[in-house]
Amino acid sequence: MNTPVSIVSHGICSPAGTGLDALLATDSWPTRRVAEVSRPEVFHGVALMDSSSGYRARWQSRPRFRRAGDLTLHIAESVSQALAAAPHADPKRTGIVGAFFLGCISYSVKFYQGILKDGRRFASPVLFPETVANSPLGHVASELGIGGPVYSQVGDTSCWSSALRTACVLLHTMQADHVVVVGAEEFDPHQLDAFAAAGWFRSGEPLHIAEGAGAILLERGLRSGGVAIGKAVDGFSFRTKREGAAAAAACLAEFDAGIPVADTASSWMRAPVRTGNSASLNDGPRFEAFNASCAWNTILAAEQIRGGATDRLVVPYFGLSQNIGAALLSRSDILENAGSAVSFPAP
């Protein structure tokens, strides 16, 4: 596929607030000690969104969002920022693709807790719609007047790569003139039990969990002085840590060895990942917010290219459970001079 795709704008919703400065200040992110559900004596550091943030009250005042979960609010804020920064984008010709690891977990927990307490016959018809993976995007699309395709993808961290490719296919096939790609996560203590069972806290590398969202607005074509997506790949699957190391190597082999690779690995994945030309996106503490982190890393990489720190950068998206993907970001003029050769295998 040879349709060039540019990153027009972004939106950020992180534990320290909104905007790029808050995203970069990870050393000041408010971290709380949260206990596992099954082992209340075991605590982990989690960077949670500020419940008193102004954006929450603003979105919760909208009738559609009064029952919406935190995931929806994170998405609404980041997507609205990206759209506000690009007033030329027609919402009716704009699509939205979401990438989630666990989706609306807080409502799912409440729904199943109700079943366990009161029985299946009394499962809440009010809670159930909010457990559906596409529910947050549906709310946001309706509220913001988005008339293009709306599609949610659920998977581990590499799901972000698939979301990027899906967005590029929508642009290539003219189903939309712009597409917002959003990665978002919300936190529930039950996640800690699952991560502990998977051994992610025993890897030798600290795993600090966070929540939030990030969004990028994509458009067809190259923008002068802008940043473009030159290639996106995923589907490098694994079942064991040894296979994970091989999958990481195979994924990165898809890119020119001379291009810097962003240092984005966390937990056990940090050990097997070795690149001779690595680049740091942020000098502060590393937090894992899964697909939200993928969005943030993509935004940070694009900002480094815009700022002249590098002209190309590979951004890996290392899933900790089953898959690995990556994207190549580049200065637009490099792709233009290369004939706009863009590689997006169909999802």
Q: Are residues 90 and 177 in contact, defined by beta-carbon separation less than 8 angstroms?
A: yes
Q: How many CB atoms lie within 10 A of CB 172?
A: 17
pLDDT in tens, the chain (347 residues): 467 899 999 999 999 989 999 999 999 899 999 999 999 999 999 999 876 677 888 888 888 888 788 899 999 999 999 999 999 999 999 999 999 998 887 777 777 678 888 788 777 877 777 777 888 999 999 999 999 999 999 988 889 999 999 999 999 999 999 999 999 999 999 999 999 998 898 877 788 999 999 999 999 988 888 999 999 999 999 999 899 999 999 999 999 989 999 999 988 888 877 776 888 898 888 899 999 999 999 999 999 999 999 999 999 999 999 999 999 999 988 876 655 444 444 44
Q: Are residues 147 and 93 in contact, defined by beta-carbon separation less than 8 angstroms?
A: yes
Q: How many CA atoms lie within 13 A of 109 on its CB side?
A: 13
Q: Are residues 182 and 12 in contact, defined by beta-carbon separation less than 8 angstroms?
A: no
The dihedral built from the CA positions of residue 109, 115, 120 and 122, taken in this order, carries a sign that is negative
Residue with tokens 């709306």: 150
The dihedral built from the CA positions of residue 4, 325, 196 and 37, taken in this order, carries a sign that is positive
| Confidence (pLDDT) at 347 | 45
Residue with tokens 């937990």: 267
pTM: 0.92
The DSSP letter of residue 165 is H
Residue type, 120: R
Residue type, 219: E
Which residues, at least 6 apart from 57, have a Cβ–Cβ distance to it below 8 Å? none
| Reported CATH class of domain 8-220 | alpha beta
Q: Where do the structural domains in the chain lie, given as residue ranges? A: 8-220, 227-337
Alpha-carbon separation of residue 278 from 60, 247, 264, 346 (angstroms): 41, 18, 10, 28
